Amino acid sequence: MKEVTVEELLAKAEQPSKDAMRLHPFYRGKVEVIPKCRITDFNDFAIWYTPGVAAPCKEIYADKEKVYEMTNKWNFVAVVSDGSRVLGLGDIGPEAGLPVMEGKALLYKYLGGVDAFPICVDTKEPEEIIQFVKWLQPTFGGINLEDISHPKCFHILDTLRKEMEIPVWHDDQQGTACVTVAGLLNAVKIVGKKMEDIKVALIGAGAANIAISRLIITAGVKPEHILAVDSKGILYRDRGDRETLKTKYKEKWHICETTNPKSIKGDIKEAMEGADVVISASKTGPGVIKKEWVQAMAKGSIIFAMANPVPEIWPWEAKEAGARIIATGRSDFPNQVNNSLGFPGIFRGALDIRATKITDEMCIEAAKELAKVAEDNGIHEDYIIPNMDQWEVFPREAVAVGTKGIEQGVARIKAPAEERFKLAEKIIKKTREQIQFLMKEKFILDPDKK
């Protein structure tokens, strides 16, 4: 087999951006609204609109829960962002963040059969975002907070989860953490180690890694085996900025209190020394993680370099330095640890039980099911987590999430697992068949064919 050069790998990595600049203006957006009801002639509008629509309105007024039966609320999710932390691009604003939110809505629909709406708001004030999301509650069955900077994202999420009657989810926290745990469960198996024994270096202490720390501990990693690094170095109890951490960055302070009992000091280099696993959700690379630091890790090392659009270290560089398993957030490299494997199936499961919230335990069950799907197909160093084209991932994940939600008492519907699997499978297959039909009939155009 022909050996691939570094130049060829770099060209492959840059191709998605080139294609995006060609195709985004061609389609002028990625999602649209189309009817789901029959329209045989104009008389049907008397049913779908006035005067007929008054009857379901009255029914819902008498019993608010009927809105789930009379409207599409049961399948609506709002993807809400202020554009303050978009991918690895930072605070680029709501307009520049809209392509990402549209992409998120597209993935929700294609992978989970969920009708998601991209909503970018022109405010960065946490209390205004909280109030805005609360105002959306009558229309939506769930809320996906997206690309909101920390620390305000924690306050927004925690407040809304407490005060709303529908699930509110921050994908940069819970989604990334769920998929990371799934990949880690299988990676550890491959290298012959145990979760309770591994030493983990968390590079970056933002929303993603703070949530990841919480979930990997729930999954079996010991807090005393974790070193977390932010822009000022390794977190520990007696760091010079401890008072600032206590008052402004409470989630980071919690990491200071629960990890690094030996108060190890230093930066990324020192945190990685002797580590079994590096989980990096830091600034975009390459070069954030250096090859010599990888060489200093434990034998059979595992690296999750998840910055987008460019990982903190290129996978081939990590391999050359001795890492055994490398994962990134990109779909064009092996082992994509990407939220796209989590949120469509997780929300499918939450919506199908009309959940009031998505708990950490529901996320762990999703992670376990993701890991199990990959294991069923034969895990190896370049396959620790399913690919997005394995459609069965999403209904299986949905069932696992729904079952845990029912068990925890956050479900309005308690249908059997088999029934929920068939429902999720039907909804997801329908979406894919619709898109294939629209492409075949040229309602969705091929940009390469005139």
Which residue is catalytic, options 49, 232, 250, 429? 49
Nearest alpha-carbon partner for 175 in 284, 259, 79, 250: 79
Distance CA 2, CA 8 (A): 12
Report long-range pairs for 372-379 (Cβ below 8 Å, ≥24 apart): 372/396, 373/397, 374/182, 374/186, 375/186, 375/189, 379/186, 379/189, 379/190
**Three-state secondary-structure class, residue 78:** strand
CA distances from 192 to 114, 138, 198, 222, 226 (A): 38, 49, 11, 17, 19
Distance CA 375, CA 372 (A): 5
**Token output for 363:** 């996320």
User: Would you say 201 and 175 are in contact if contact means Cβ atoms under 8 Å apart?
Assistant: no
User: Would you say 300 and 322 are in contact if contact means Cβ atoms under 8 Å apart?
Assistant: no
The separation between CA 365 and the C-alpha centre of its own chain, rounded to angstroms, equals 15
Angle between helical axes of 343-352 and 417-440 (0-180°, round to 10)? 120
Phi-psi region at 229: left, alpha or beta (left = phi > 0; alpha = psi -120 to 50): beta
**Tokens 């009992």, residue?**
261
Question: Which DSSP letter does residue 84 get?
Answer: S
Number of H helices and E strands in the chain, helices first, is 18, 10
Distance CA 76, CA 72 (A): 6
**249 labelled catalytic:** no
User: Would you say 214 and 174 are in contact if contact means Cβ atoms under 8 Å apart?
Assistant: no
User: Would you say 227 and 259 are in contact if contact means Cβ atoms under 8 Å apart?
Assistant: yes
Angle between helical axes of 207-218 and 360-376 (0-180°, round to 10)? 80
Which residue is catalytic, options 104, 152, 357, 372? 104
**68 labelled catalytic:** no
Q: Which residues pair with 226 in a beta bridge?
A: 200
CA distances from 206 to 168, 282, 361 (A): 19, 8, 21
Which residues form the catalytic set? 49, 104
